[in-house]
Copies of this chain bind each other. A is one copy, B any other.
Amino acid sequence: MVAPLRLGLAGLGTVGIGVVKIVQRHADLITTRTGRPVVITAVSARDRQKNRDADLSAYAWETDPVALAQRDDVDVFIEVMGGHDGPARAATEAAIAAGKDVVTANKALLAHHGQALAEAAEAAGRVIRFEAAVAGGIPVIKALTEGLAANGIKRVMGVMNGTCNYILTRMQSAGLPYEVVFEEARQLGYLEADPNLDVGGIDAGHKLSLLAAIAFGTKVSFDAVELEGIGAVSIDDIRHAEDMGYRIKLLGVAQLSGRGLEQRMTPCLVPSASPLGQLQGGTNMVVLEGDSVGQIVLRGPGAGEGPTASAVMADVLDIARGIRLPTFGQPAATLATPIAAKSATPAPYYLRMTLLDKPGALAKIATCLGEAGISIDQMRQINQPGDEDDDAIVLFVTHKAAPADISHALSHFAATGVLVGDPVAIRIEEV
């Protein structure tokens, strides 16, 4: 029998305890599948006294995760503490410096420091694995890095924040405004301590930047993700979109244009009948498009003890089996695809605006669109029952238009003097 693979587990929250349970429950299964026992030797967490749902008595305790990462009896350092600086970063760096492999669920850490960590790990001959950092239990890092390795990747899309998808689908099904559902989600414990990580799209943007690095051979570039959260999505737009056969999702999209990698994490309309459109509640979905394989859709739980621990342990089992790849699927030094300053890929857009009841109002708007080179695929005027004035809501679905042309048209709407309030423009991602 070969020597066991020894794990040092930093973080004993939900995910950490999930890892403990798998290691304990499936010791035999893991040994059969990897040919090598996998054991936990030491753990760390802030509060040793806290009551936890697992028997930790056999494991050495470290208060400091850096000390854990440096222990001689640890081969793989598992970081499930979270936080993109502070102890998580220090301990991960210490682990690599001490010659340990690293498995992490920490998307923020890698989104901010992934390139430097990957370079350090590769220089030290160690691996950093992060299946759990993206889309929870869905083995999407593996599918993209290995399963689709022979493809030029054309586009990666994903609904990767379950809380946002819960809020948007609940708004739709219950007909409730954002603020009400946000409060529901808070009370249900679905939101991060800083809710903007969820509803601001930051958490999902972190994940997108990691997928994009693998898919397109770029350095992780979270700062280049065009981020827009769901706070401005109105129940009106959800309803109008549904009437026209679309649903609104916080959708991440990464693709190459002539100017380099584009990354967006923004509300988008997607066809209601598409797999993305059908996705309800907290479930995650990632869509991978390759030049040979076409479109692959992966769907599953994006969070929670079991799913996230499953992903952490998949990485551990890979290490036990001797599977060793560069962090982002190719050597960090070769990650060189340029990043586009701003999205330029055309798409249809959904536009909503309220027009004053003035002669020629619609013509003025249509002229703005025409002058920006935008042609109209569908137009609907909606009379508001019970509305005392005669202002009209007008919806457009445009043909494909460049984002800059949409911005240009919107900036000229104001000068027409026929709009009430601000117009809304939401990209329609063709899926």
Q: How far is the CA of A146 from the CA of B310 in the complex (A)?
A: 11
State which of B292, B306, B317, B324 has its C-beta within 8 Å of the C-beta of A292. Answer: B306
The answer to the question of A431 belonging to the interface, with a C-beta cut-off of 8 Å to chain B, is no
Tell me whether A301 and B293 are in contact (CB under 8 A): yes
A17-69, CB < 8 A from B: 18, 21-22, 25-26, 29-30, 32-35
Residue of B nearest to A147 (CB): B139
Q: How far is the CA of A321 from the CA of B278 in the complex (A)?
A: 37
A23–chain B nearest beta-carbon distance, Å? 9
The answer to the question of A299 belonging to the interface, with a C-beta cut-off of 8 Å to chain B, is yes
The answer to the question of A151 belonging to the interface, with a C-beta cut-off of 8 Å to chain B, is yes
State which of B146, B278, B323 has its C-beta within 8 Å of the C-beta of A139. Answer: B146
Q: How far is the CA of A324 from the CA of B322 in the complex (A)?
A: 8
Residues of B with C-beta under 8 A to A310: 148, 150-151, 290, 292-293
State which of B150, B296, B316, B318 has its C-beta within 8 Å of the C-beta of A300. Answer: B296
A253-309, CB < 8 A from B: 275, 278, 290-301, 304, 306-307, 309
Instruction: Tell me how many chains of this kind the complex includes.
Output: 2
A374-430, CB < 8 A from B: none
The answer to the question of A191 belonging to the interface, with a C-beta cut-off of 8 Å to chain B, is no
Tell me whether B296 and A149 are in contact (CB under 8 A): no
Tell me whether A35 and B331 are in contact (CB under 8 A): yes
Residues of B with C-beta under 8 A to A149: 30, 33-34, 313-314, 317-318
Residues of B with C-beta under 8 A to A294: 137, 300-301, 304, 306-307
Residues of B with C-beta under 8 A to A317: 146, 149-150
The answer to the question of A351 belonging to the interface, with a C-beta cut-off of 8 Å to chain B, is no
Query: A326-362 CB contact bits vs B (8 Å, 1 = yes)?
Result: 0001110010000000000000000000000000000
Q: How far is the CA of A143 from the CA of B321 in the complex (A)?
A: 15
Q: List 20 A–B pairs whose Cβ atoms lie within 8 Å, in order of A's numbering.
A: A18-B292, A21-B292, A30-B150, A32-B331, A32-B334, A137-B293, A137-B296, A138-B296, A139-B146, A139-B147, A146-B146, A146-B318, A151-B310, A275-B278, A275-B299, A290-B310, A291-B306, A297-B298, A322-B322, A322-B324
